[in-house]
Structure 1
Amino acid sequence: MHNQRTQSVHRVEFPVDWPPGHVACHLLGGEEPVLVDAGIPAAPEQETPADERFESTLERAEYGLGDIEHLVLTHPHVDHIGQVGAVLDAGDPTVYAPASVRERFTRAATALGERVRENAAAAGITGDALDNEVESAVESLERNRRLLPPDAVDEWLTPGEISFGPISGTAVHTPGHQADHLAYLLGYDGETLLFSGDTVMEPFRAVVIHDGMDDGYTEAFEAAFTALDRLEPHDPDRVFSGHGKPHEQFGEILDRDRSRLHKRLDAIEGLVDDGFETMPAVAAELARGRKPRYMYAETMSGLAHLDQTGRVESELVDGVRRYA
């Protein structure tokens, strides 16, 4: 599209309905442009598959969708893989994704639904709310593997050394927010840059979702702590995350997120001590007037972690796990 490609990081923001109001992907300019993550799907009323902001932002940086040579994904959440199809329609990039996504996407949706129903029911979710959680989990799996067809991925990445054309670095497995999540430390234009996806974000700590209400919920908090521990030895010059602006507060935000994970566990333990016996009861208190279901996955995971570490005790009573 242009004769002389500048070596710079170009940020593309897409509006979303949750704080801080946007999700971002990043284009590393150069002779082989690299796009890290791919935004949220275009609105249904749009005639083209590419979000207009996506195309116009790239055009201002003198790039087009067809110029992208490498498409690198941190994790398979809808707001990070939504424009994969648009990029593939425009060109022929090499597509990279975390290797464990391949196995996750081969899962039968019915099998996932069964596990979510069993786990959610044992957590105390009933009636329409239970049906909604199962439906949401199944729809998410089906939607995400439609947005990121496994056959479209050229290279499945594992933690360790990586390269995207002339750009090389390290992939770090950073689960907790999402079980397959990779963060990428890349040497670029004389700096070490961290493309952190939904970790080490300046505005807030990422919610602990991991694999939602699938069986991995019991390991989610430990995974989130592990992700921070894995990142800590690194010292990037700048951090480019999926939400919030780029920043240079790497160590400070790692410490903040670790502290906030501990505070969440303390808060959950405190509510159990105050007599809130079930996950939905604890989640409703944590939600503080917001919809409790958005706290369900993190609350389930927190209670499981506290149970495993002996800070609370649990027993199944009439099929529902109660805590004390």
Structure 2
Amino acid sequence: MAVHNLTSDAETFTCNAFLATGETPALVDAGAMAGIEERIADRVDELDRVVLTHQHGDHVEELDAVLDAFDPDLYAYAEHPRRTHSLDDGDTLAIGDEEFEAVYSPGHAADHLAFVGEATIYSGDVVVHNDEAFDYGSFGRTDMPGQSRERLIESIATILDRLPEDVEHMYPGHGDEFHGDVRDVIETALDRAERREPKYPE
């Protein structure tokens, strides 16, 4: 299974939109970069499903364009007019060639899910490898209405509890993907969040 970040060179603000090829071609988040459907078509002829970590604008702005172009199933936690499959904590689904468990992980977003497999995690925005705040082990912002640092901390701890020992590929909603000791990255993020380190300097 190959995973491609289709928005890695985007010039507009967007999340990472990951296309996993293989037995079940899937897009994890549609992003906010115009023309994403053309980049999908460059890699695959058919798209089986779109899987949403959450529905913030930078993750779903181009969702309709992808759904119109490929007519895939849409998997999401929260209601959406074009959702075909609802996801809840503990549900399983295929992304590419790997089976994943949905882990309900609010704090950054009330509808947030991370997807944990035997070797791979799609972590969305709840925990990321790096960003403008931290170089190794960061976490989603919680300073906006409806967000909660306390709930985010619980979510990161839950992900660690349910993370298999051999996970070595991390595909986050922002920043760079990571290959290696994913658990250490997430533990570092949890430690920073628990010490109430500010996401961004004042």
TM-score by length of 2: 0.81
Aligned to 2:192: 260
Alpha-carbon offset, residue 63 of structure 1: 2.0
**Does structure 2 conserve the Cα–Cα contact (< 8 Å) formed by 1:16 and 1:23?**
no
- Higher RCO, 1 vs 2 (CA within 8 Å, ≥6 residues apart): 2
**Does structure 2 conserve the Cα–Cα contact (< 8 Å) formed by 1:161 and 1:168?**
no
Counterparts of 2:41 and 2:85, CA distance in 1: 28
Aligned residues: 187
**Does structure 2 conserve the Cα–Cα contact (< 8 Å) formed by 1:177 and 1:224?**
yes
Query: Does residue 225 in structure 1 map to residue 153 in structure 2?
Result: yes
Q: Which of 119, 126, 131 is residue 199 of structure 1 equivalent to?
A: 126
C-alpha deviations, 1:66-93, integer Å up to 9, x for none? x211110000111111111011111221
RMSD of aligned alpha carbons: 2.4
**Does structure 1 conserve the Cα–Cα contact (< 8 Å) formed by 2:126 and 2:152?**
no
Structure of higher CA gyration radius? 1
Counterparts of 1:75 and 1:202, CA distance in 2: 18
Counterparts of 1:232 and 1:287, CA distance in 2: 27
Using a 3 Å threshold, how does the CA distance of structure 1 residues 253 and 16 change in structure 2: closer, same or farther? farther
Gaps of 5+ in 2: 131-137
C-alpha deviations, 1:9-53, integer Å up to 9, x for none? 121113445xxxx5211111124311111101x5xxxxxxxx23x
Alpha-carbon offset, residue 225 of structure 1: 1.2
State the identity %: 27
Counterparts of 1:87 and 1:56, CA distance in 2: 9
Q: Which of 80, 83, 99 is residue 59 of structure 2 equivalent to?
A: 80
Q: Secondary structure at the match of 2:196?
A: helix
Query: Does residue 32 in structure 1 map to residue 11 in structure 2?
Result: no
TM-score by length of 1: 0.52
**Does structure 2 conserve the Cα–Cα contact (< 8 Å) formed by 1:39 and 1:79?**
yes
**Does structure 2 conserve the Cα–Cα contact (< 8 Å) formed by 1:68 and 1:87?**
no
Counterparts of 1:32 and 1:252, CA distance in 2: 29
Aligned to 1:208: 142
Counterparts of 1:246 and 1:287, CA distance in 2: 24
Q: Which of 61, 83, 94 is residue 164 of structure 1 equivalent to?
A: 94
Using a 3 Å threshold, how does the CA distance of structure 1 residues 91 and 56 change in structure 2: closer, same or farther? closer
Counterparts of 2:149 and 2:176, CA distance in 1: 26
C-alpha deviations, 1:75-124, integer Å up to 9, x for none? 011111111101111122110001xx23xxxxxxxxxxxxxxxxxxxxxx
Q: Secondary structure at the match of 1:232?
A: helix
Q: Which of 114, 132, 136 is residue 183 of structure 1 equivalent to?
A: 114
Using a 3 Å threshold, how does the CA distance of structure 1 residues 32 and 263 change in structure 2: closer, same or farther? closer
Correspondences of 1:51-200 after superposition (within 5 Å): 51-52=34-35, 54-60=36-42, 62-64=43-45, 67-98=46-77, 101-102=78-79, 150-164=80-94, 167-186=98-117, 192-200=119-127
Alpha-carbon offset, residue 244 of structure 1: 1.5
Aligned to 1:146: none
Aligned to 2:135: none
Counterparts of 1:16 and 1:81, CA distance in 2: 14
Counterparts of 1:229 and 1:157, CA distance in 2: 20
C-alpha deviations, 1:200-230, integer Å up to 9, x for none? 3111332115xx434xx5xx22211111111
More helix by share: 1
Alpha-carbon offset, residue 287 of structure 1: 5.3
Gaps of 5+ in 1: 1-6, 43-50, 103-149, 268-285, 289-324
